[in-house]
Amino acid sequence: MIFSRDQICAHRGASGHYPENTRAAFDAAAQSGAGWIETDIQCLADGELVIFHDEQLGRTATGSARLRDLCWSEVAPLDIGSWKGAEFSTQRPLRCEDLIEWQSGATDRPGIVWEMKCSEDPEAVEAAAQALIERLSVAQDHRCIVSSFSRALLQAIRPRLPAVPMALIAGALPADGIAFCLNNALEGIHLDGQDLHETAAHMILAAGLSLRSYTVNTEAEARRLSVLGVSMIMTDFPERLLTTP
């Protein structure tokens, strides 16, 4: 094994070979030995939290509607697998609670890194925050990290889920990124691995924050980041980094 299980996070599941954010991708990630899965959640018009990356349909599912304008009854029947291959035509969207239940189905299932997607509209932020708080509050044994690019969302969630690890997502390290994390009791920061270099990594680690990187698909780059102190590497191909050549 090249990396330890907890160092490897399957980005949207094992999305290199399986349709992203589907049960097939999550099952494959678990079978690869990944200790974590990263996935995206968005709040629908009816308050349901769907696991889906894009803001609107069109790339992984037929249509053009914005996710935030749809209800679960409209999203649930969508085929989100065929774009990756006809053999995945039975894959349908999942909700946040569906993946929590999946994780609880076996003791060795990966932890979940939730990337909460949200517009900066205050009403949308509050709706998304409340939806996530409700679901995580009832899942006491759920092993997870909550992350987002939205600072407003993280600030809304943090006081109401004090025990849940939370992280800010950015590309390169923002000038005020460390201060924001420390001032809002976030325990980590997630950065684009290609933009991460020694100075930023040292600053983050010196501040006592956890450093995690996305999306890394080669062993060489994963090793470089590991040397810098990155504790979690998000990858589309977890099997590449967890299998001895």
Residue 164 has pLDDT above 90, yes or no: yes
Tally of domains in the chain: 1
Q: Give the domain extent around 32.
A: 5-242
* pLDDT single digits (tens) 191-210: 999 999 999 999 999 999 99
| Three-class SS state of 38 | strand
Tell me what the mean pLDDT of segment 170-183 comes to: 98
**CA–CA distances in Å: residue 153 to residues 119, 131, 132, 147:** 9, 12, 10, 9
First to last CA, the chain: 9
The DSSP 8-state label assigned to residue 226 in this structure reads H
Torsion region of 207: left, alpha or beta (phi above 0 gives left; psi -120 to 50 gives alpha): alpha
Give the pLDDT confidence score for residue 1 in this predicted structure. Answer: 54
Contacts of 67 (CB under 8 A, 6+ apart): 42, 44, 50, 52, 54, 55, 56, 57, 75
Tell me what the mean pLDDT of segment 107-118 comes to: 96
User: How many other CB atoms are found less than 10 A from the CB of residue 182?
Assistant: 13
The structure tokens listed for 5 are: 């299980």
* pLDDT single digits (tens) 41-67: 999 999 999 999 999 999 999 999 999
Q: Output the pTM of the full model.
A: 0.97
The structure tokens listed for 152 are: 């407003």
Q: Find the angle CA(55)-CA(60)-CA(61) to the nearest 5 degrees.
A: 85
**What is the overall mean pLDDT for the chain?**
96
Strands 36-43 and 8-11: parallel
User: Burial level of 217, CB count in 10 A (0-12/13-18/19+)?
Assistant: middle
Residue 102 has pLDDT above 90, yes or no: yes
Give the pLDDT confidence score for residue 151 in this predicted structure. Answer: 98
- Residue 111 — very low, low, confident or very high, per pLDDT cuts 50/70/90? very high
CATH code at position 47: 3.20.20.190
Give the pLDDT confidence score for residue 245 in this predicted structure. Answer: 52
